[in-house]
């Protein structure tokens, strides 16, 4: 049991005495290159410290990114819950209400009362996942404060026209059906 691995391999005939001598001499040379007692030199120590510092920096950056992603997901979930809790059901609305969503025109079906409220600014339209929901303007403002991309339509009462408008006497209603 006290035999070293080299002695056991030598007795088994898997290696010869010359190979054992070469391994021992290479181990002794490596030990001398490391500073006599097996300690790494200053250059190796500095490289190890630099590598450890770089690894710590990468780890902290990765941790920061993960925390930021978790914060974004939590905020999106809060907004989704806020919209879901305060949405106004559209019911069996048979009137199409068209609006701009970025560069495209979208359409939802609402009741006549909801269409009038949307035009006057008493209701707002927000995006939720792949669809759109009706909410009160106060809720839309709270949502817009957190993420303005979710508020699709928020008419403000009193935005009817400017004082310098030449055609101010000729109002065009927002609820015209084309």
pLDDT in tens, 67-80: 999 999 999 899 88
Q: Helices marked H in the chain — which ranges?
A: 5-12, 17-33, 42-86, 112-120, 137-146
State mean pLDDT over 78-99: 84
95-101 vs 124-128, strand pairing mode: unpaired
Among 57-61, 65-69, 108-112, 158-162, the minimum mean pLDDT is found in 158-162
Could you give the percent of the chain with pLDDT greater than 70?
86
State mean pLDDT over 135-139: 90
Q: What is the pLDDT of residues 101-131, one digit of tens each?
A: 888 888 888 888 888 888 888 889 998 888 8
**Residue 128 maps to a domain:** yes
Q: Which pLDDT value is given to residue 11? A: 84
**Residue 114 maps to a domain:** yes
Cβ-based neighbours of 118, under 8 Å, separated by 6 or more: 97, 110, 124, 125, 134, 153, 155
Helix (H) or strand (E) holding 82, with range, is helix 42-86
Using 50, 70 and 90 to split pLDDT, how confident is the model at 41? low
Q: What is the pLDDT of residues 14-31, one digit of tens each?
A: 888 888 888 888 888 877
Using 50, 70 and 90 to split pLDDT, how confident is the model at 164? low
Helices 5-12 and 17-33: angle between axes, nearest 10 degrees: 160
**Tokens describing residue 141:** 């403002």
The domain total for the chain is 1
Average pLDDT, the chain: 82
**Residue 43 maps to a domain:** no
**Residue 64 maps to a domain:** no
Quick check: 90 and 110 in contact, CB under 8 A? Answer: yes
**Residue 110 maps to a domain:** yes
Quick check: 128 and 83 in contact, CB under 8 A? Answer: yes
Domain ranges, residue 112: 88-153
Is the pLDDT at 36 greater than 60? The verdict is no
**Residue 173 maps to a domain:** no
**Residue 129 maps to a domain:** yes
**Residue 73 maps to a domain:** no
């Amino acid at each position: 049991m006290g035999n070293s691995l080299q002695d056991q391999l030598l007795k088994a005939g898997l290696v010869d005495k010359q190979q054992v001598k070469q391994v021992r001499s290479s181990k002794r040379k490596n030990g001398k290159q490391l500073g006599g007692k097996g300690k790494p030199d200053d250059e190796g120590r500095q490289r190890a410290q630099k590598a450890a510092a770089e690894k710590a920096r990468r780890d902290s950056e990765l941790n920061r990114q993960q925390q930021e992603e978790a914060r974004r997901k939590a905020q999106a979930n809060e907004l989704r819950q806020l919209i879901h809790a305060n949405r106004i059901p559209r019911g069996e609305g048979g009137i199409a209400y068209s609006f701009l969503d970025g560069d495209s025109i979208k359409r939802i079906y609402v009741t006549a009362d909801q269409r009038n409220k949307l035009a006057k600014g008493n209701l707002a339209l927000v995006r939720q996942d792949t669809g759109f929901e009706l909410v009160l303007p106060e809720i839309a403002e709270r949502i817009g404060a957190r993420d303005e991309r979710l508020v699709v339509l928020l008419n403000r009462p009193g935005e009817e026209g400017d004082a310098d408008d030449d055609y101010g006497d000729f109002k065009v209603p927002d609820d015209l059906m084309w």
